[in-house]
Amino acid sequence: MLTPHPEGIVPVLVTALLLGILHGITPDEHTWPITVSYAIGAASGRRGLEAGLLFSAAFTLQRAIASELAYLALAPILASGELNAVIDLLVGIVMAVSGAYILRLGRELHLTEWFEELLHRAFRLGPQDGTAGILEPGAGRPIPLRMTLVHGFVAGWGTGAFAIIIYTVLAPAMPNAAVAFLPGLLFGIGTMLVQAAAGAAIGAWMRTRGFGEQAMNYVSRAVAGNTLLYGGMLFAAWGFVSLAFPGVADTLDRGIPTGLAIPNLDSVNAGLILVAFIVAVIAAGSFVRAVRRLPMRVEGRGR
């Protein structure tokens, strides 16, 4: 195990931060579908920012824990294909449950109110009238943002090219266990910077569509709900296939090389196809369909 001098830690941590930023930009298998879904559901720049912060804050915590575990020689377990398949299955189930709730098929799980209250006080985000962590864009029940915390923590256990670099190169380069969590922490912070900005931009974009409050609520609920529900079902199905047919899943995970030396873009594989389909087909298709089906009676339907 590498044991650099303290000054040698700085380049390792800078590398982790830059990798986190790159991870936030590239179409990660879990990150983008979830952030896009909740940011669209947020329907405003400020709450879209909150969606990105909530997801990536939980992701950062997970990655710091995993970095510490990797230092303790558990990297092979963290990088196993079986664990990744289980994570895909769990992420898919959590996404689908959240989507079902948003589409009014169930009830929200109240698990993390305390953390959202902390964020509201620290960043002055969201409503301050006792409805912290939920959206009240108009008529109907609010869309829960706190579930992004669950998504972020569960999804973070999935292992991709970036995670392997953290677990096998950067975490083992730490001098001792007391600071072994730092590469994962810096990686998560880098991802947080991008995802928070992306969430704010997507939420602000929704606000510029010119809908009234009720119409905005109708469209954002339809897009976020459908994306999480059907995207989650796809992730769960892929996780099940990966567990049942690991050889087939491994071949599809390798995919077709693109020649780009950029993780997540170096091949056209199952993960990239899942992201593209969920974001470009389900999310975009749900948006177009929701706009076309806006009831005439909904205030601010648009022209």
pLDDT tens, residue by residue, 63-110: 999 999 999 988 888 878 888 888 889 888 888 888 887 776 544 444
Q: Which of 220, 71, 68 is nearest to 144 (CA)?
A: 220
Confidence band, pLDDT 50/70/90 cuts, at residue 127? very low
Beta carbons of 229 and 99 less than 8 angstroms apart: yes
Q: What is the pLDDT of residue 279?
A: 84
Higher pLDDT, 119 or 1: 119
**At 268, is the secondary structure helix, strand, or coil?**
strand
Average pLDDT, rounded, for the chain: 78
Q: What is the pLDDT of residue 173?
A: 92
Q: What is the pLDDT of residue 17?
A: 95
Q: What is the pLDDT of residue 106?
A: 45
Q: What is the pLDDT of residue 297?
A: 45
CA distances from 43 to 17, 111, 119, 155 (A): 29, 23, 19, 23
pLDDT, tens digit, for every residue of 225-251? 888 889 889 989 999 999 999 888 888
Q: Is residue 175 part of a domain?
A: yes
Q: What is the pLDDT of residue 104?
A: 67
| Tokens (6 digits) for 3 | 């044991």
Least confident piece of the model among 169-178, 214-223, 246-255:
214-223
Q: Is residue 298 part of a domain?
A: no
Higher pLDDT, 19 or 303: 19
- % the chain with pLDDT above 90: 21
Highest mean pLDDT range out of 24-33, 150-159, 221-230? 221-230
Least confident piece of the model among 120-134, 150-164, 233-247, 269-283:
120-134
Mean pLDDT of 127-149: 51
Q: Is residue 240 part of a domain?
A: yes
How many whole angstroms separate alpha carbon 81 and alpha carbon 158?
Answer: 9
Q: What is the pLDDT of residue 272?
A: 85
Q: Is residue 167 part of a domain?
A: yes
Per the structure, the count of domains in the chain is 1
- Domain span at 15: 6-292
Q: Is residue 297 part of a domain?
A: no
DSSP letter for each residue of 52-101 = HHHHHHHHHHHHHHHHHHIIIIIHHHHT-HHHHHHHHHHHHHHHHHHHHH
pLDDT, tens digit, for every residue of 29-54? 677 787 777 777 666 777 778 888 88
